Chain A
């Protein structure tokens, strides 16, 4: 692309670039349509032919719809997954944990997938919380559960950071109080006892005697934290028979500052700094022999990169499938035109211009492609919506599939390519001799 054109293109807003791409990709279909039908009104006759062979036409349209639907669904689903997982991790600027796998810690601390990880000491927590660039350092103590929902020990400040003001009730003010996530299995006013462990490793009754009362409910975050129940981290330590993070003279206190000598440990610490640059400085400072500091967003971006690679490969397969289906449909159309070759020959015998007959046959093919493409978009969106709901239900990550420009670009490219290919059956019909066809 020449520099002047490239500079002009780069100055355009992304939405305008997408709209222009769509127009460019759709233009061949539109121009072909205008050129083929110019001066004629072949639509009524084309419609009648489609109706006459309606079941075969419907089958062709459904074949096209299925192939388009796969491509559209694939793109919409991958984007929905990417956006959903990114939204769920948005509030986790920087996570500090014991050295290990960043992906494991991402899954454990951000997506609350059960994992057995080493604990960080009170000294480390103190260094992080006391750092001048740190605005919030919240312990995230996971490992317990109730009715399959994670019970996580943390601080009031973390709840405010994660979900803002509570939807109802108030924050916990006592080690026996809890705040429920938006879709947690307990509601404000409800009582429960946490089980030790989560999933298949759960030990029921291990924390008997420590009953929590739910006093508030968080707003929806679109993340697995919606199903979690948040309790004071002091309560998590206490039910495990450990010190509660505070010196005896501060007994009953909730939240920071914690006393390093009485801090039993936490699997992860969420770190929030007001400025992005400070996060980089903190990551460097706390990436050392005894700690691992990582950006969940960066780890997620790498995972998205892999997801994108898979999507690209599958998109190529989907495009190849679409082209094969289109070629099959058009071949079928050539065969179909033999069925009404007598009617077309009659038209020509009555004096219909060759271009008019050409336009009628092309219109039949173009209508099948257009209807199939529209149905395919609807089919792809519906399939992505259903898959999104299943994934959301299983992971508690809010996945919402919607249509965006890439899908429209795909459909425009497909429609243009197949509508150009549809010129072939129209030309083949014209090549047929009139007299033998009239004799049938």
Chain B
């Protein structure tokens, strides 16, 4: 009886450990790092159109300022760093930005109606639940990150608020 209980306990513990590590792996999936830079919660909206905007949170725990200068991805033919502006006609337009600084010890959020990575010429529709890779280009190097495809009307990553 005691032997059975011990086996059951070990099995339960192993299952829980596996589940926890799977969850951690899933969370780590959303994190990219490079020389003190950490990018989390990269996401975009599901779309059938030819353009998508990628948003993420960038943290710079390094000792020097970094510059985000753009990105690259196989899902689109063209990638650019852009910034949102509401023009006098009341229409939101995105303008190409040369770079955006991420101060040492500071954060930068790419978000809807803000700065974003624009992917033009999408080869296929992006469906909710899909994931793809994008390479962010900083002045200090390149970083591969996973982008989650959220609902077409999403305003944040589905893990936003989770502490990675």
Which A residues fall within an 8 A CB radius of B?
6, 79, 82-87, 89-90, 276-277, 279-281, 283-285, 287, 295, 297-302, 304
Contacts and interface: CB of A to CB of B under 8 A. Distances in A.
B98 interface: yes
A131 B107 CA distance: 17
Interface string B108-146: 110001110000000000000000000000000000000
Interface residues of B, number: 26
Contact of B113 (A277, A284, A298): A298
B106 interface: yes
B90 A82 contact: yes
Contacts of B114: 280, 283, 295, 298
Given A276-B85, A298-B84, A298-B113, A86 B100 contact: no
A304 B89 CA distance: 12
A283 B88 CA distance: 21
Contacts of A6: 50
A79 B90 contact: yes
Interface of A, helix, strand, loop or mixed by DSSP = helix
B95 interface: yes
B99 interface: yes
Nearest to A309: B153
Given A284-B106, A295-B114, A83 B90 contact: yes
A279 B103 CA distance: 14
A280 B89 contact: no
Given A83-B88, A276-B85, 18 more contacts: A82-B90, A83-B89, A87-B90, A89-B86, A90-B86, A276-B83, A276-B95, A277-B97, A277-B100, A279-B83, A280-B115, A284-B106, A287-B109, A297-B113, A298-B114, A300-B86, A301-B84, A301-B92
A89 B100 CA distance: 24
A89 B89 CA distance: 11
Contacts of B89: 83, 86
A285 B83 CA distance: 16
A277 B99 contact: yes
